[in-house]
């Protein structure tokens, strides 16, 4: 109570009246949009060519919402006369966003930088089954992944922000 002389009832009326005169803070969603922070965990994007089907993400996921299938393929050797290379090819990479907890463990454990966070958030669906994003749809999210942002003063030098 800054001014003990004025009764609290009147001070309260003053506060609501002043707020009425100020512009509202509402963001009118479909017409105008807030820009989420670059780090915001909106949706997971997949860079398919980096994935080696190591299954680390699927195993580390706390609620097992990542489904991966793959097979081995023989590729011609890099150098003349070398051995044939054996490469893992991704057949299926699905993330079920109706189960996902957005914890980010999969992005973090990925050793080959195949998964990224994108702050995109507008992918709600009318049917729950459509929240299962396949590898093509996950790949499309790659376009929305923001560049790595600089870190605050005092951060360990030479280390860029992790994805």
Distance of CA 44 to CAs 10, 130, 142, 150, 161, Å? 51, 15, 8, 21, 17
Which is nearest to 113 in space by CA: 52, 68, 161, 60?
A: 52
Cα separation, 117 vs 114, whole angstroms: 10
Q: Binding another protein by CB under 8 A: which of 5, 26, 81, 83?
A: 26
Which helix (DSSP H) or strand (DSSP E) does residue 112 occupy? Answer: none
| Between 80 and 152, CB nearer to another protein | 152
Assess 36 for contact with another protein (CB under 8 A): yes
| Between 19 and 136, CB nearer to another protein | 19
Assess 144 for contact with another protein (CB under 8 A): no
User: Of 108-127, which residues contact another protein (CB under 8 A)?
Assistant: 108, 117
Q: Binding another protein by CB under 8 A: which of 22, 72, 78, 127?
A: 22
Q: How far apart are the first and last CA of the chain?
A: 48
R_g (Cα) of the chain, nearest Å? 24
Assess 28 for contact with another protein (CB under 8 A): yes
C-beta of residue 138 within 8 angstroms of C-beta of residue 45? yes
Q: Exposure of 71 by Cβ count < 10 A (0-12 exposed, 13-18 middle, 19+ buried)?
A: exposed
Q: Binding another protein by CB under 8 A: which of 32, 33, 41, 68?
A: 41
Assess 11 for contact with another protein (CB under 8 A): yes
Assess 35 for contact with another protein (CB under 8 A): no
Contacts to another protein by CB under 8 A: 1-2, 7-9, 11-13, 15-17, 19-20, 22, 24-26, 28, 36-41, 60, 62, 101-105, 108, 117, 149-156, 159, 161-162
């Amino acid at each position: 109570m800054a001014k003990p002389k004025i009764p609290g009832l009147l001070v309260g009326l003053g506060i609501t009246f002043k707020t009425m005169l100020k512009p509202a803070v509402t963001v009118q969603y479909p017409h105008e949009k807030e820009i989420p922070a670059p780090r915001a965990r909106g949706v997971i994007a997949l860079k398919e060519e980096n994935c080696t089907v190591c299954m680390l993400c699927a195993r580390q996921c706390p609620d097992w919402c990542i489904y991966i299938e793959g097979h081995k393929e023989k590729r011609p050797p890099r150098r003349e006369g070398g051995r044939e290379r054996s490469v893992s090819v991704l057949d299926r990479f699905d993330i079920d966003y109706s189960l996902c907890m957005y914890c980010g463990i999969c992005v973090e454990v990925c050793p080959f930088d195949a998964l990224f966070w994108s702050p995109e958030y507008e992918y709600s669906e009318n049917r729950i089954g459509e929240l299962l994003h396949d590898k093509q749809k996950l790949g499309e999210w790659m376009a929305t992944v923001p560049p790595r942002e600089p870190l605050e003063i005092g951060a360990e030098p030479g280390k860029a922000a992790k994805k």
